[in-house]
Amino acid sequence: MTTQLDIAKIRADFPILHQTIHGKPLIYLDNAATSQKPKPVIEALTQYYQEFNANIHRGIHHLAEKATTAYEQTREAVRAFLNAPSVEQIIFTRGVTEAMNLIAQTYGRQNIQKGDEIIISTLEHHSNIVPWQILCEEKGATLKVIPINEKGELIIEEYQKLLSPRTKIVSVLHVSNALGTINPIEQIIDLAHQAGAVTVIDGAQAASHLEIDVQALNCDFYAFSGHKVYAPTGIGALYGKKHLLESMPPYHGGGEMIKEVTFEKTTYNELPYKFEAGTPNIADTIALKSALDYVRTIGKNTIAQHEDNLLAYATQTLQSIKGLRIVGQAEKKISVVSFILDGIHHQDVGILLDNEGIAVRTGHHCTQPLMKHLGLLGTIRASFAMYNTTQEIERLAEGIEKAIRMLR
């Protein structure tokens, strides 16, 4: 049985929501871009800088030891969040973009040869396209793309046809940021492994909505960004299977990622520090634990049920607006509604909604190849989080109706 959210209590935890924009109460519906931050996350940042700001791992004084303990407690929180086997398999990154580049430039450079193939999908964010393009250009490999159907779902039969003995990496997102589609990654991973390929999963949009168990998925790599799950920007994590991480060369060189340095030779540190050169993003990493604790306390399933209800209500409400077309109607979706209005540019709608205090995202959502496939310049995207309400969806619908009247 799913517990019902106390929305008023949750909203009280998010200070930014209690303001007016252009004289109207803020309605924040751009959560797929970045989520807002609850008080415990903000307080964690403040506490670090006010009470124990120090560099980590290398110091023996009290502040350094306190900062190191808090920093490493976040690594354990991420391990539990992903159900990874060990903390040494959790690499801190700036987010999914850096994680994808790390994999491409270490595992990819080491293992991809001329004639090899890498598979991605039509739904991918640029962060899961460009690093592989760079690698393919460098190595003479081929990038192949899984097509989608009219609902915005991957066509698994076509994916199976793309797999071959030359397939070395399959890298797909867990959930589409542009359409909200939840991909069948268990099946995708299993088929890739049958072909002998390594799997990479972009979990940016899944982290706040879906339960993630990397051991049950049996993925080789999984990455997520903290700022999508109520944590600060500039911090994320990459999970990798231990034998793969151990075999990969370092991504950055410098302090912390070394055991011993001479002018003749450097020996590298153990996992996970081999991939964490230099002074890290300490404060935001510590605050990531506060965000994950906040989500865990409320309950991922409880949050998901609330967001699913918002998705159903928004879909029904917006579909009733004449001239509005929802783009992406997969059977399994998270709380994202992407839509267009007949004869009206998406950016104009975004500006007019902002005048009503409503924050949505407009444009290609860093998925230009997907938009080209759909024959669109972009869409208007409303994405919902645990603190959103049905009343806000009604305000969104009213704002769209007003925009239609003004622009036609």
Q: Which residues are catalytic?
A: 366
d(CA 295, CA 74): 14
What residue type is 217 in one-letter code? L
Strand 142-146 to 117-121 pairing: parallel
- Cα distances (angstroms) measured from residue 315 to each of 144, 330, 332, 335, 394: 33, 12, 13, 10, 11
Which helix or strand (DSSP H or E) is residue 314 part of?
Answer: helix 300-319
**Running DSSP on this structure, what letter comes out for residue 174?**
S
35 close to 388: Cβ distance less than 8 angstroms = no
- Cα distances (angstroms) measured from residue 66 to each of 72, 290, 393: 10, 16, 44
344 close to 404: Cβ distance less than 8 angstroms = yes
Q: What is the number of other CB atoms lying within 10 angstroms of the CB of residue 348?
A: 15
Residue 232: cis peptide before it, omega within 30 degrees of 0? no
